[in-house]
Amino acid sequence: MGTERGKTGKLTLIDGCVLIALIGAAACVLTPAVSQAKEEKKLSDMVQRLQVIRSQMWLYRSEHNGLLPGQRTAVSAVRPEDFAAALNQSCLDGGVPYLRQIPENPYVADPNAAAAITCVNDPDARPTGQEGTGWWFNAATGEFYACDSAFHTNY
């Protein structure tokens, strides 16, 4: 009777169970790989955004006599809105903004905080990852980091 399946093309209950088990096993194997790839893409996006912001900060500094974005003097503190406004203005030589907008940190779920910046003016300060903003800027040192988690403050 086992040969009838080949003639009719129908699956038996056992064949269906084996097929479902194979699909389930494949899903179990692929899910972590897909999840890891998504996480690697997210981290890559964050690092790339950091590099863009930092490079535009240094371009700004080179075009403004050593002042960092938002500084009025070499020792002045910087407010987040002044930092963003300075980078939104046009480059001196190209007529295009340094940044059209501050990029969002992809690890920050709150859209109001993802592009927000914590600004400090203390050469000894370091981000903690608990600031509640996507980015951290120290006007005293020119350091710019992600601050969505303690781990990401290393980038």
Record the pTM.
0.76
User: Which token pair is 74?
Assistant: 């070499």
User: Which token pair is 16?
Assistant: 């269906």
Distance CA 59, CA 92 (A): 10
Amino acid of residue 56: Q
* Per-residue pLDDT, 33: 65
* Per-residue pLDDT, 87: 93
Distance CA 4, CA 149 (A): 62
145 vs 35, which has greater pLDDT? 145
Distance CA 69, CA 91 (A): 12
Residue with tokens 């903690």: 128
* Per-residue pLDDT, 90: 85
Mind listing the pLDDT tens digit for each residue in 17-46? 888 888 887 777 767 766 777 889 999 999
At a CB cut-off of 8 Å and minimum separation 6, what does 153 contact?
126, 127, 128, 129, 136, 145, 146, 147
* Per-residue pLDDT, 34: 66
* Per-residue pLDDT, 103: 96
The domain limits of the chain are 46-154
Work out the angle at residue 95's Cα, subtended by the Cα atoms of residues 90 and 98, and round it to the nearest 5 degrees.
Answer: 40
Residue 116 has pLDDT above 60, yes or no: yes
Distance CA 48, CA 85 (A): 21
Q: Are the C-beta atoms of residues 46 and 54 closer than 8 Å to each other?
A: no
* Per-residue pLDDT, 8: 64
